[in-house]
Structure formats: C-alpha cells, structure tokens
Amino acid sequence: MRPTFASFFSGIGGFDLAFERAGFDISIQCEINPFCCSVLERHWPNVHRLKDIKEVKPADVPLSDVWGGGFPCQDVSLARAGRRAGLKGARSGLFFDFARLIGEGRPRIVLLENVHGLLHSHKGRDFETVIRTLAELGYSVGWRVLNSKNFGVPQSRQRVYIVGCYRDREGAAKILFEPKRRERDAEASKKDGSKSISPFKRIVGDPSGKGPVVQSIAYCLCACSARHTGTDWSRTYVPYPQTGRVRRLTPKECEGVMGFPEGWSLPLGGKYSPDDLDSLRYEALGNAITPPVVEWLASRMSSYLAEKGSMARIAG
C-alpha cells in the first residue's frame, strides 16, 4: 500500500505536490484561505478539505503516515517590520493547534517547515518551544536548514525543516542527513583556482540583445500584502539592457523560480479580475514551499516507512 500524507496549512499544495511525486497519497488537506482552496480544488478535486485548524478534531484526520505543513511564519519572520510577536502571535501561534492534533493522532512522522527566523525568534525561545512541545508528545526531533538553490531551484531560499519520528530516536537523523558528503568544486577551492563568482551576479540571457537578462539565482521571494508586490522585486527583477526597462517577475516566472509547474497557481474558475489574480498568485507563491526540497525529504521518509512499516499496513 502507498504511504499517506495529511496536509496542514496546505497553501497552494507545495507539500502535497512533493509528497505525491515521492509516491504518497494525500489523505486530507487543511487550508483556510479561499484563493488557495480554489487552487487545491483544481489539482485535488477528490481530496477532502478542512478549513480552520482551530476547529479540526482528531477524528477528522484519516489515519496517515506523515502529517506536515508550514505553519504561518508572519510572526517569526525576519522580513517583518517592527517587533515580532513570535509564537504568541495570532498567525504563528497556530502551531499550538497543530500540536494539539498531533498529540491526539500520533502520526509516525511529523514534518514542519518555517522561515530561518524561527531559530532566532525571541532569542531562540520560540524554536525551543516547538522542539520541546514535539518531544513531550513522544517525538524524537531533528532539524536542518536547507536552501532551495541546492535542489535545482533557481532561488536562494533558506528554510528550517523539523522532522519528528514517534518513539524512534534515530528516525529524524536518518531522514534529514545523508551518510556521506558530496565533493566540493575542488578546482575552484584551491588557492590557484578561479575566483568564485556569486550566483547572484551571474546572468542568463544576452546583454547585447533586445531580450531580457535575469540573475541565474533569484533572491528569496517573499509574500506581501501590497498590490502586485508579491516578490521583493527591488532585488529580483528583469532588466532589458538596451532599453533600460526594468520589470518585476510575472506570476508564471515566479512559479518557475519556486519550482512549481507552469500555471500551477491558477485557481479553479474565473471569478478573479486579472489584477486581483496576479496579486493573489504573488502572495500565495511567496508563502509557499519549494516542492523539490520537500520531495527530497518525502523520498527519504518513504524509504524510512518501507523499513519500519506504514501506518496503513500496521492498521491492516
């Protein structure tokens, strides 16, 4: 039987796409944003969806091998102006509602994702709270900061991934860490080797032509509430050298920079105006995860479950 994944804080389905690619079935989704729900319905019309995680009961969640999602980052993000509320905030504090469900459902594996700022929020106390909460529920926990650019995604996007394995002190390490390191670029690292060039300074395109040029690696795309500013396009932009014109990335280009298939963030139906649609897609993509990173983790979880036995096989 195929392993199963229960998706929380589903957004536009980055986790779900990644786990499907790794051979999992999606057992349920939980998302409150109407636009994101419309995108999920387009891609998974037959998957049952829950809305407000505060109202979800353990009995609402089918037996699933892995529970996962990226709980809201707004209150712990370094990109947030002013003082950060941390886990006491209304958005990031939804972690505790997720933990309540985990404590009742006890899935074999839990996967959490959040911004790098979680490690430092309230001088590390918020991150300590997340780890301690999972440990008190019986999970052996590990974490690792992964950058999307190392997984074939043309974007520098650092995120912390937290894995908890129920009553298995070695499981998280097996999933998160490889037994061997890959060789570095030895030639460039030697004293007499060529000087390393920042990927942000490498460009793709013909500077002498009429077409645009872009950075080979984009800066981290972030979500904003302002209209048509769903990316930090002051750093990630598309210039036309001959004319001096500069523009922001389009939503379709942002999908590629995030590692999604083209057109993924389009919702079901046509009830949005073109301007509103662009803004909603920018925001949803800026809040999303990059599927190739999670697919790597999901593949390792699949191997772990094949060794340990999935919840479905145990229940059967």
Burial of 225 (0-12, 13-18, 19+ CB in 10 A): exposed
Q: Known catalytic residue: 73? A: yes
d(CA 178, CA 104): 31
Q: Which of 73, 165, 220, 254 is catalytic?
A: 73
88 burial level (CB within 10 Å; 0-12, 13-18, 19+): exposed
Number of C-alpha atoms within 13 angstroms, CB side, residue 158? 10
Alpha helical stretches, state H, the chain: 14-21, 34-43, 95-105, 125-136, 171-176, 186-189, 251-258, 274-287, 291-308, 311-315
Which residues are tagged catalytic? 73
